[in-house]
A and B are shown apart, each in its own frame.
Chain A
Amino acid sequence: KAGVTQTPRYLIKTRGQQVTLSCSPISGHRSVSWYQQTPGQGLQFLFEYFSETQRNKGNFPGRFSGRQFSNSRSEMNVSTLELGDSALYLCASSVSGEQYFGPGTRLTVT
């Protein structure tokens, strides 16, 4: 069974721009969660989507948003990028609580 895929794998953006990251979950998984990983803060939860609805939300500003499509694929968007948004963005899919992570998108903001 194919794993979680994320695109793009690497991204360089300029401060003030916006970015959209994509996540395709494991087939049959309806829950998709997003995390930000930085050396300073570790892995922090952004939000979770289940059946196209946001079910949980972490403590990130409104510049971070997401959505889920009917095929369970998910996107997250970050508007007005800041230097501090440079991080590895990971998505995870699950069917019964066990979360399986993708390889991540490494975002660099200059």
Chain B
Amino acid sequence: QKEVEQDPGPLSVPEGAIVSLNCTYSNSAFQYFMWYRQYSRKGPELLMYTYSSGNKEDGRFTAQVDKSSKYISLFIRDSQPSDSATYLCATSQGGSTLGRLYFGRGTQLTVWP
């Protein structure tokens, strides 16, 4: 079993829709949770970085972590065609292993005008 599971999609939504992206993880020791966006032929771009459970909002993006169910979510409000990319969730245990991230396989999102 992979440490982080993510539905690869693809997910296709109309412009303006609310997008929900999700991951589950298996190791309860994971403390740090991230979402990255990766455009084709580019490196991943850090969108959200959270510690432990709770919500974090940044503009149109909201990240949620529920450690009791080992569930990570990213919501995108008022989605735009420029949001079309692959979204990757990632986790880390922290401490001396903070530099080791475990990634989901990524969800490919298309927002059509």
Check B101 against A33 for contact (C-beta < 8 Å).
yes
Q: B46: which of A31, A48, A100, A103 is its contact (CB, 8 Å)?
A: A100
B66 within 8 A of A: no
A9 closest partner in B (C-beta): B41
A71 within 8 A of B: no
User: What number of B residues sit within 8 Å (CB to CB) of A?
Assistant: 24
A106 closest partner in B (C-beta): B41
> Shortest CB–CB separation between residue A49 and chain B, in angstroms?
8
Using a CB–CB cutoff of 8 Å, the interface residues on chain A facing chain B are 4, 31, 33, 35, 42-45, 48, 50, 55-56, 58, 90, 92, 94, 97-104
Would you give 18 A-B contacts (Cβ < 8 Å), ordered by A? A33-B99, A33-B100, A42-B88, A42-B105, A43-B44, A43-B90, A43-B103, A45-B100, A50-B99, A55-B99, A56-B97, A56-B100, A94-B99, A97-B98, A98-B34, A100-B46, A102-B43, A103-B42
